[in-house]
Chain A
Amino acid sequence: MTIAPDPTAAPPVNLTKPEADDPGQPAAQEMHYARAELALALPDQLALREVPLTPDPLEALANAVADIREDLGESADVVLDLLPIAPTRVSSRRRRLLAQARRNPADRFGFDLSAVMSEIATEMKGNQGDGARQRSPQAQRAHGATDTKAALGKLAPGAEPVFSMQLLVRTCARDEYRARMILDQVLAALEPWSGENHLRPVGLHLGVTRLRADHWIYRSKFDRRFETGLFVPRRHSWVTAQEIAGLLKPPTKHNMAPNITRSGGVVPPPPAALPTWTGQHGLLPLGWVAKSGGGERLAGVPLRYLLFALFLGKSGFGKTEMSLVQAIALAHNGFGMLFLDPHGDGWIRARPYLAHKELADRIWEIDLTSPELDKMVGSWNPLSMERRREAEIPDIVQYIVTGFAAAVGWNDASARAKTILTRAVESLVHLSWQVCQAGRPDLAPTVFQIRTILTDPVWRTGVLPYLPKDVRDFWEQTFPGYSKEAIPIVIGIIERLSSSNAIKAFLGSSRSTYDIRHAMDTGKIVFVCPAGTGDVDRIISSLLIYDLFRAGLSRRDTPPDQRRDFYSFIDELTSVDGASKGTLAQITEQLRKYNVKLLAMTQMAQRLSPTTRQGLLQNLSILSTTASDIDEATLVTRRWGKKVAPDTIVQLNRYNYVMSVTLDGGTTDPFRVRGASVEDLYGDYYRPQNEERLARAIDENLQRRTVRDILTDLRRLDSRLRAFILTLPVPPDDGPTIGDAPCDDEGPHGPADGPGPAVAAAKPRVHDSEGTVISGGRPDPEDETPDNVHPINPHQNQSRLG
Chain B
Amino acid sequence: MNTTELIDGVIDFVGDIPGHVKQLADWTLSNAWWVALAATGTGGVIAMARWAVSRGPMPQRTALELLPTTDFDPKPEEIVRFGHQMARAHKSVSRWLISSSRTGALRVRFTCFDGSLSMRVEGPDRAMSVLRHQGYAQVEMRPVEADGRAARERPQIRLGSQTS
Task: Name A residues whose Cβ lies closer than 8 Å to a Cβ of B.
Answer: 1-2, 4, 7-8, 10-15, 53, 58, 61-62, 65-70, 75-84, 160-161, 163-164, 166, 228-232, 241-242, 245, 247-254, 257, 259-266, 277-279, 281, 288, 294-296, 298, 328-329, 332-334, 356, 358-359, 645, 647-648, 676, 680-682, 684-685
Contact = CB atoms under 8 A, between A and B. Distances in A.
A532 to B, nearest CB: 29
B108 to A, nearest CB: 4
Given A4-B142, A79-B107, A253-B72, 18 more contacts: A2-B114, A13-B148, A53-B79, A65-B117, A70-B113, A75-B112, A80-B107, A81-B106, A84-B90, A241-B83, A250-B139, A251-B68, A253-B68, A259-B112, A266-B69, A278-B157, A294-B145, A681-B157
Contact of B71 (A83, A253, A334): A253
B49 interface: no
Contact of A259 (B83, B87, B116, B145): B116
Contacts of B114: 2, 70
A731 to B, nearest CB: 51
Nearest to B74: A249
Contacts of A14: 146
A13 B101 CA distance: 27
A15 B146 contact: yes
A228 B82 CA distance: 24
Interface stretch (B23-31, B32-40, B57-65): B57-65
17 contacts: A2-B116, A4-B140, A68-B115, A77-B111, A80-B108, A83-B104, A231-B102, A259-B115, A260-B116, A261-B118, A262-B70, A263-B67, A266-B138, A279-B157, A296-B152, A647-B71, A648-B69
Contact of A62 (B117, B140, B149): B117
A379 to B, nearest CB: 28
Contacts of B113: 13, 70, 261
A378 to B, nearest CB: 23
Contact of B65 (A4, A69, A232, A358): A4
Interface string B77-106: 011101110110011000000000111111
A164 B107 CA distance: 12
B86 A84 contact: yes
Nearest to A228: B58
* 3 nearest A-B residue pairs (beta carbon): A241-B83, A12-B148, A263-B67
Interface residues of B, number: 70
Contacts of A1: 70
B48 interface: no
A8 B76 contact: no
Interface in B125-143: 136-140, 142-143
Contact of A278 (B107, B118, B158): B158
A332 B156 contact: no
Contacts of A295: 151-152
A648 B156 CA distance: 32
B35 to A, nearest CB: 26
B13 interface: no
B155 interface: yes
A250 B66 contact: yes
Q: Specify the main secondary structure of chain B where it touches its partner.
A: mixed
B85 to A, nearest CB: 9
Given A68-B115, A75-B112, A229 B58 contact: yes
A80 B76 contact: no
B47 interface: no
B144 interface: yes
Contacts of A62: 116-117
Given A79-B107, A248-B79, A250-B139, A8 B145 contact: yes
A278 to B, nearest CB: 6
Given A82-B105, A259-B117, A332-B161, A242 B151 contact: no
Nearest to A325: B157
A794 B128 CA distance: 58
Contacts of A249: 66, 68, 74, 78-79, 82, 119, 136, 139
A58 B68 CA distance: 13
A75 B109 CA distance: 13
A65 B112 CA distance: 7
B21 interface: no
A346 B74 CA distance: 46
Contact of B80 (A67, A241, A684): A241
A613 to B, nearest CB: 28
A66 B122 contact: no
Contacts of A358: 161, 164
B159 interface: yes
B12 interface: no
Nearest to B155: A298
A647 B152 contact: no
B70 A253 contact: yes
B86 to A, nearest CB: 7
A334 B164 CA distance: 10
Contacts of B84: 160-161, 241
B18 interface: no
A595 to B, nearest CB: 18
Contact of B159 (A61, A83, A264, A333): A333
Nearest to B85: A161
B8 interface: no
A10 B117 contact: no
Contact of A257 (B78, B109, B117, B164): B117
Given A53-B76, A241-B79, A231 B159 contact: no
A53 B162 CA distance: 60
Contacts of B108: 79-82, 247-248
Contacts of A247: 108, 110
